[in-house]
Amino acid sequence: LLKWKGREDALKIPVREWTPDQTKENPNPYRVQRSYLDLLQGGVELTEDELQVAEDYLRSTSEYFRAWRRFVNQPEYELMATPILQEVTQPGYIIPNFLFPQLAAKVMALDLEMNASEMDEEDRFALCMDIVKIGKNRPPPVSIGYLLELATKLIGFIAIQTETPSFQDPILLKKVLTELSEATMSVHVSSMRDFQVMDVLGTMRFAKRGGDFDFDFTPGSPLVDYFHQLLQPEAPYFEMLRDPEVRFYLYAYDDLPFDVELEWIIDSPFRSSVLRLEEFFCVENLTYWGEVVLRSVYFETALNLTRLQIANRIHELETGEKAKDMSHLVPNLLPSVPVDPFTDEPFLWDASRENFYSVGPDEMDDGNSIRYSPTNGSKSVGDVSVWIKE
């Protein structure tokens, strides 16, 4: 959340200038504001007072998103949503446009969970479809992290893996699942534009690793060495992705409405704000390999698991037979090392090389991005439709 100064741009304001209302009774007026964001992101534990304030806030934003749903399908929805949001939040604060879809999915899914018992089946179906449409109607590139998040939330709600289905009508459930499946199929994990921005808090936790923050990114520093080790042959580079302390929040690069200074983010009370990776990992090509190798493996796996769950549930609805659980296949499909797509040989990270290769730049690419993903970098990973067929 950014302090709104009545201008069209989000200003870069040092944290010491952010507290005009600071008093002895209220030493940190941004504490509760931060708690809203943390609550929405599944973050810190809140006090009872903070929870009450946050619940009031969520209730008001839920009303806002109900009003917003009716024009989700219109391309100018972000402009239309801004004044409504300003009416229901505390005066002087806005949520940047690039956060609307992510926040919308979270609040609407929360609304679905909290109020499902009071809704009839048609209302639940309509709300589910609205959430999916937010993902499908995003102008490209779709943020894969956001789409996965709402897909996971919906899958949990519509009880793919539970005994109590939320929809008694299998036709409605199948419609939701089919829409969700199509939305996930439209995501291309290998596109660098899906991975341009990373959550700073997750980065800081990853950098910390149990000690003090070390922001030394010069060659030979511990963090650089750690990334270097992750990219060596036989390094279990995806182990860190199982660390619950590491959180990635992905936003489309083109959606960023402002430039960010590293010091401004670290010192600010909103450390979960987004930051361009180029400004954080600014050594050699660490940016691209940190992004592509770690995240493409993780999200390709998560997407395929999501698709498998959806396909299994549709199979059950159509045939009445429980589909075979194939989720155990996914970890075995992760390649152990980065592979050169042209030779199928392990690709070695070499700090002396000025540039890494670029695979297949297309009209969405500037030609400088590295495009690596398990699906095009290794023969061991098959298309999800093949898994389902087999």
Establish if 339 belongs to a structural domain. no
Between 48-57, 65-74, 171-180, 348-357, the lowest mean confidence (pLDDT) is in 348-357
Establish if 105 belongs to a structural domain. yes
Range of the domain at 99: 2-185
Residue 280, both tokens: 């954080």
Establish if 115 belongs to a structural domain. yes
Instruction: Provide the pLDDT for residue 308.
Output: 64
Residue 349, both tokens: 């990270």
Instruction: Provide the pLDDT for residue 278.
Output: 30
Choose from 81-85, 204-208, 225-229 the range with maximum mean pLDDT: 225-229
Choose from 15-24, 122-131, 245-254, 346-355 the range with maximum mean pLDDT: 122-131
pTM over 0.75: no
Establish if 340 belongs to a structural domain. no
Establish if 149 belongs to a structural domain. yes
What is the average pLDDT across 3-31? 36
Cα(217)–Cα(55) distance, integer angstroms: 40
Choose from 46-55, 75-84, 226-235, 265-274 the range with maximum mean pLDDT: 46-55
Q: Which amino acid is at 224?
A: V
Q: Are 291 and 277 in contact (CB under 8 A)?
A: yes
CB hemisphere CA count around 25 (13 angstroms): 1
Choose from 48-52, 315-319, 371-375 the range with maximum mean pLDDT: 315-319
Is the pLDDT at 125 greater than 70, yes or no?
A: yes
Between 94-108, 140-154, 239-253, the lowest mean confidence (pLDDT) is in 239-253
Average pLDDT in the chain: 44
Contacts with 129 (C-beta within 8 Å, 6 or more apart), sequence order? 175, 176, 179
Q: Which amino acid is at 373?
A: S
Number of separate domains in the chain: 1
Establish if 318 belongs to a structural domain. no
Establish if 317 belongs to a structural domain. no
Establish if 345 belongs to a structural domain. no
Instruction: Provide the pLDDT for residue 167.
Output: 60
User: How many residues are there in the chain?
Assistant: 390
Instruction: Provide the pLDDT for residue 320.
Output: 75
Instruction: Provide the pLDDT for residue 361.
Output: 32
HEC profile of the chain: CEECCCCCCCCCCCHHHCCCCCCCCCCCCCHHHHHHHHHHCCCCCCCHHHHHHHHHHHHHHHHHHHHHHCCCCCCCHHHHHHHHHHHHCCCCEECCHHHHHHHHHHHHHHHHHHHHHHCCHHHHHHHHHHHHHHHHCCCCCCCHHHHHHHHHHHHHHCCCCCCCCCCCCHHHHHHHHHHHHHHHHCCCCCCHHHHCEEEHHHHHHHHHCCCCCCCCCCCCCHHHHHHHHHCCCCCCCCHHHHCCCCCCCCCCHHHCCCCCCHHHHHHCCCCCCEEEHHHCCCCCCHHHHHHHHHHHHHHHHHHHHHHHHHHHHHHHHHHCCCCCCCCCHHHHCCCCCCECCCCCCECCCCCCCCCCCCCCCCCCCCCCCCCCCHHHHCCCCCCHHHHHHC
Instruction: Provide the pLDDT for residue 131.
Output: 65
Instruction: Provide the pLDDT for residue 183.
Output: 63
Is the pLDDT at 180 greater than 50, yes or no?
A: yes
Instruction: Provide the pLDDT for residue 318.
Output: 75
